[in-house]
Structure 1
Amino acid sequence: MKRLVVLTIACTGGLALASCGAREALKPVAAASLPPAPYGARATPSPGDLLNPPTQTRPARSDDLIQSSDQRRSDTFDLPPR
């Protein structure tokens, strides 16, 4: 029983320490240089350009495969168990 209490306290303490993180905005390190320009790019992107994902990386869903009002087509492989 004592082991369970000690283990619970240790896990709770570990989670409390793990949840403590930096709450500041990300900034590039002052002494570090930016990564090289991508192949074919004319200029090196700025830190703001690198942090903002392009629209193509998060496309919006344009269609649902089955609407709730549509009838499902029959499935010939949906057989009852033997």
Structure 2
Amino acid sequence: MKRVILLAVVLAGCGKLGPLQPVSPERAPPRPLNALVPPTPEQQLVVPPQAAPDRVDDPIKKSRERADDRFDLPPPGL
């Protein structure tokens, strides 16, 4: 019982007491080779089109009911 109380007291003292302060970055990320000026943080957060391309061809042209599958059985024991 004494160990539990001691552990609770030790864990309660692990928290930070003061407010959090933002850490300034030591170095900015390197600028792209073909850029004259480094991009702003807002420009770096924009997702390029290559990262999420639009779907050009949808494989399902029309939705339809699926045929019954005779091998779609419940797990054994149920």
**Which has the larger share of helix?**
1
TM over 0.5: no
Could you state the TM-score of these two structures normalised by the residue count of structure 2?
0.44
Q: Structure 1 length as normaliser, TM-score?
A: 0.43
Structure number with greater Rg is 2
